[in-house]
């Protein structure tokens, strides 16, 4: 069932998503070599709860019925998605995708950003830039009258054109009172195909892009997804509302990127 949101519901979704954005900006402040992903998780959970929200990822079950043990997913280097925070310190040159979800006043926020730890290899930097560009190209297509396949195609084209792999097994999704609603939003598809987009449809668009082959495998922990060839992967995600002419981006990278600019001075 596809559920279009009222304007009031869209504003509630925006509040939940802006809290995710501010949580990710807190991560941006403290990411550096030596920090562990468990430290990041502790700070994220506290920040989310201090703002009256629930970290939606905590306790979320996988298909094996195991609850996710943390409040954020931290996927390092060749980890694609659903990385579990641990005590291993991040090191210079790593990348870490931090996926964060909140529930605030009954509505969900969901957004992800791949961070650089210190100085990263220029090739890896280009993967991150391209993945983020692909996300915005997908968002450009998320307008009334287009079809879901237009969004998927735009993401896929930009990444494959640059020689990258597009992960198939994990996709974006509708979002509202539930973190995962219909429809599924793949990062690959055909132009002009699929669901006709209507005003008020809220979706999370989230390219998961690999530097090499798109094939993945599931870790023994039954959560962490790795690239099979162990090459790095990037993941950027926005929650957006389909509107006429231009999608309304409900999450934001502005707080994160302001912190990153200040750190680089
Ligand atoms: Mg997410
Ligand atoms: Mg998502």
Residue 12 in contact with residue 107, Cβ under 8 Å? yes
Distance 152 CA to ligand 2 centre (A): 15
Q: What is this structure's pTM? A: 0.98
Taking each helix axis from N to C end, the angle separating 7-30 and 254-264, rounded to the nearest 10 degrees, works out to: 20
With respect to residue 12, please indicate whether it lies within any of the assigned structural domains: yes
CATH, residue 148 = 3.90.230.10
Q: What is the pLDDT of residues 33-77, one digit of tens each?
A: 999 999 999 999 999 999 999 999 999 999 999 999 999 999 999
Distance 102 CA to ligand 1 centre (A): 10
pLDDT value at position 243?
98
* 190 phi, psi to nearest 5 deg: -110, 140
Q: What are the tokens at 27? A: 């991560």
Distance 101 CA to ligand 1 centre (A): 6
Ligand nearest to the CA of 185: 2
Please give the tally of structural domains in the chain: 1
Do you find a cis peptide bond into 183, omega within 30 degrees of 0?
yes
Distance 204 CA to ligand 2 centre (A): 5
Q: What is the pLDDT of residues 210-258, one digit of tens each?
A: 999 999 999 999 999 999 999 999 999 999 999 999 999 999 999 999 9
Ligand nearest to the CA of 57: 1
Ligand nearest to the CA of 175: 2
Distance 243 CA to ligand 1 centre (A): 22
Residue 70 in contact with residue 58, Cβ under 8 Å? yes
Q: Distance between CA atoms of 198 and 195, rounded to whole angstroms?
A: 9
With respect to residue 157, please indicate whether it lies within any of the assigned structural domains: yes
pLDDT category of residue 86 using cuts at 50, 70 and 90? very high
pLDDT value at position 84?
98
CA dihedral 84, 96, 176, 253 (to 10 degrees): 160
User: Is pLDDT above 90 for 264?
Assistant: no
Q: Distance between CA atoms of 114 and 60, rounded to whole angstroms?
A: 22
pLDDT category of residue 81 using cuts at 50, 70 and 90? very high
With respect to residue 2, please indicate whether it lies within any of the assigned structural domains: no
Mean pLDDT of the chain: 98
Distance 265 CA to ligand 1 centre (A): 29
Distance 82 CA to ligand 1 centre (A): 9
User: Is pLDDT above 90 for 159?
Assistant: yes
- Domain range for residue 259? 7-264
User: Is pLDDT above 90 for 265?
Assistant: no
With respect to residue 1, please indicate whether it lies within any of the assigned structural domains: no
One DSSP character per residue, 89-107 reads BP-TT-EEEEEEEEEETTE
Distance 239 CA to ligand 1 centre (A): 9
Distance 112 CA to ligand 1 centre (A): 5
* 195 phi, psi to nearest 5 deg: -55, 135
Residue 188 in contact with residue 178, Cβ under 8 Å? no
């Amino acid at each position: 069932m596809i559920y279009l949101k009222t304007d009031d519901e869209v504003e509630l979704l925006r509040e939940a998503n802006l809290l995710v954005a501010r949580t990710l900006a807190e991560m941006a402040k403290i990411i550096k070599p030596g920090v562990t992903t468990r430290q990041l998780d502790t700070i994220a959970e506290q920040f989310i709860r201090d703002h009256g929200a629930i970290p939606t990822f905590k306790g979320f079950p996988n298909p094996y019925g195991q609850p996710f043990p943390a409040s954020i997913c931290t996927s390092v280097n060749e980890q694609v998605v659903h990385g579990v925070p641990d005590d291993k310190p991040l090191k210079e040159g790593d990348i870490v995708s931090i996926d964060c979800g909140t529930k605030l006043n009954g509505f969900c926020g969901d957004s992800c950003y791949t961070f650089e730890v210190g100085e990263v290899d220029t090739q890896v930097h280009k993967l991150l830039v391209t993945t983020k560009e692909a996300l915005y190209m997908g968002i450009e297509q998320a307008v009334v009258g287009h079809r879901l396949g237009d969004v998927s195609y735009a993401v896929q084209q930009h990444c494959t054109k640059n020689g990258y792999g597009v992960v198939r097994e994990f996709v974006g999704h509708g979002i509202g009172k539930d973190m995962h609603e219909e429809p599924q939003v793949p990062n690959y598809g055909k132009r002009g195909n699929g669901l006709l987009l209507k005003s008020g449809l809220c979706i999370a668009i989230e390219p998961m892009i690999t530097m090499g082959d798109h094939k993945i495998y599931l870790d023994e922990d039954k959560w962490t997804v790795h690239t099979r060839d162990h090459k790095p992967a990037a993941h950027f995600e926005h929650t957006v509302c389909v509107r006429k002419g231009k999608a309304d981006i409900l999450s934001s990278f502005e707080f994160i990127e302001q912190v990153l600019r200040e750190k680089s001075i």
